[in-house]
Structure 1
């Protein structure tokens, strides 16, 4: 009987060791984050890394100020990050909608494009900031607090003018607060993209025809916004 217990104990120990070996192997082979890009906006806006498209209406500007990217526009604006992104990535940044006494202050439109491509051109640059001019792109889009802070929406653009609404929030908990700094995290991993705000996943989409590469852009209209802490992470095997 004692010998039988020894055999059972050895067998159990073997199972535990085998599980540990497999777990360690899986941990060792799991990709680790690698910082691909970072931006502190400490000097003038780097034209080699950023491309601003501003709708020619009213008094508008895109500039840096004390380590922040400032979007202060009367009409539409897109600020593209010029390096093309691909593969499994995580994009994160802090974003504040500034509301005080500025001429363009309005609590609205903390928006972003990602994995954007133009089916008819080599890149996405060259539009004038007007929102409708981006309908011909293929991309993912979140309009956080759009329509004068009445909707938060997630869409996929198909590059032909089709841009179905995939999910929408209308409740105040998922709309903007003035002068609050939001931490935004976007992931694109193996055909799945997520959009998180302050640790809460607002949108989680498994795409049957995923967008695997393209450009990222900050997007707004008729408001004054500040962005800082921009980082892009990728995989390092």
Structure 2
């Protein structure tokens, strides 16, 4: 039975998401001008052969500049590096998606320090995979209030298979399809949230802290609305 489950997950990872349509954006990280960086402390950010390499000693967010309008799927591959470096902590493969200011504006128009608390005032979806030194994976729906990061009990996970594996490329897929909000990792759906008041447009931000990450194959796809 275990082998059957693994085969199923492998098949999901290899199969495009049902209802996926036109590719809207793709980035191989050759043009850093497509991203805006906010770093709490100076970070080392390099690109080579289509891979974005981030070594961040503190809070770090890279915003993709184009606004995304749902329904969309956001996909990329990421790797938590463990090779003996000072920041090779294997932690915090995090992201914001469909992010907007509480008043409706763009987060790019209101630069932040990179400190995690500075983002409380956004309305956004957020996942921290492998947070807290790779002990937790959590989903939150931010509501735009300082000091308020709501999280339902069922959205606080700690199972080993939902954390990060050092030096392995992880396929991430974010879904914003009207009320259907999802986070997938290597073909496995970690979070499914039915939002009666969904965030249907906004910005994507790659987020981490005290870690060394590599990212590649960033793409955004149009989704056919649920039921079509």
Q: TM-score band, normalised by the shorter chain?
A: 0.7 to 0.9
The 1:207–1:74 alpha-carbon spacing in structure 2 relative to 1, beyond 3 Å, is same
Contact 1:194 1:205 in 2 (8 A): yes
Structure 2 CA distance, aligned partners of 1:79 and 1:196? 20
Q: How many positions carry a matched residue from both structures?
A: 203
Deviations 1:3-61 (A, max 9, x none): xxxxxxxxxxxxxxxxxxxxxxxxxxx976000000112x3x421x21011112xx522
Check if 1:127 corresponds to 2:124: no
Structure 2 CA distance, aligned partners of 1:120 and 1:110? 28
1:224 Cα shift?
0.5
Check if 1:46 corresponds to 2:32: yes
- Larger radius of gyration, structure 1 or 2? 1
Listed as ranges, the matches of 1:71-220 within 5 Å are: 71-120=54-103, 122-125=105-108, 126-161=111-146, 162-166=148-152, 167-220=155-208
TM-score by length of 1: 0.81
Q: Greater relative contact order: 1 or 2 (C-alpha under 8 angstroms, separation 6 or more)?
A: 2
Structure 1 CA distance, aligned partners of 2:130 and 2:159? 10
Structure 2 CA distance, aligned partners of 1:211 and 1:120? 13
Structure 1 CA distance, aligned partners of 2:224 and 2:25? 14
Runs of 4+ in structure 1 off by over 3 angstroms are none
Structure 2 CA distance, aligned partners of 1:60 and 1:104? 10
Contact 1:52 1:62 in 2 (8 A): no
Structure 1 CA distance, aligned partners of 2:19 and 2:55? 39
1:190 Cα shift?
2.2
In the alignment, structure 1 segments of 5+ residues that lack a partner are 1-29
